[in-house]
Amino acid sequence: MGKVSRLKQEFKKYFLPRTKAVTVPVSEDKLLEGMVTLITGGASGIGFAIANRFVQSGSKVIITGRNEAKLKSAVEKLGSEVSSYIIMDMIDVSDIETKVALAFQIYGGVDILINNAGVMSTSRFGQTTEEEFDQVLSTNLKGTYFVSQEVSNVWIKHKIEGKILNISSASQYRPGTHPYPISKAALASLMKGMAYQLIPYGIKVNAIAPGPVATAMQKTDDDDSIFNFSNPSHRMAMPDEVANLALFICSAKGDLMVGSTYDLTGGGGTISLNR
């Protein structure tokens, strides 16, 4: 047997046990039936919209954040019987192992990780302080790195084929004129690196890159217009639109989605590269 044939045999031996047909749930409304989802930054905005959509689809959810009052309010809205919260600061890497272990204890496991926690920056190159730079990079990139590492290590140890979804931004395609697009460009690289490292264990990693979304981060509320002149579609995305795409990717329907970023920009940064 030649070298190529031996490699193919070894490949089949390792991967065939993981190769199976996609099981489509009976109910389209319960695509995540029996799953547990951990969502960082899940008390408001995109994170809360994802939590709400996942609960509707059968998943129990655990949301994290720094503000306990907001977390409690979110859990009340989601339903305390299907949701819980953990106070966690993404900047405090020393506490991540403990908080992830707690997340696995609440419902007896975690099947999906949504890396949503993030902060914006406003100052441009030339005016950025070290404090602002560190806060943005530590939250958006460093925290995501170590939460993902901790969760995936548990999955690998217990042979769990989970899913990781990073909520990135279309800013990852723009020049790094301030810490936010720099953090999102680095997050795109991290996503592909994690996807490459983890797919041999059956763990799928992907990302969504929204354009402007009608959340508090964009200084909008439920009564504000979502009109956006600079976008080819002339509007911002709604949090529920991000949540619906997240649901598809994290359900059995998205089992062959690996190492990809899915733009949700209304054309900004895709068909119109300068917007």
Residues acting as catalytic residues: 180
CA distances from 104 to 30, 60, 270 (A): 22, 12, 38
Whether residue 159 contacts residue 153, with contact meaning beta carbons closer than 8 Å, is answered with no
Q: How far apart are CA 236 and CA 166, in angstroms?
A: 20
Q: How far apart are CA 152 and CA 157, in angstroms?
A: 8
Q: How many CB atoms lie within 10 A of CB 179?
A: 25
Both tokens assigned to 245: 């795409």
Whether residue 208 contacts residue 249, with contact meaning beta carbons closer than 8 Å, is answered with yes
Both tokens assigned to 25: 């749930």
Q: What are φ and ψ of residue 255, in 5° steps?
A: -65, -20
The amino acid present at 251, given as its one-letter code, is: S
Q: How many CB atoms lie within 10 A of CB 73?
A: 15
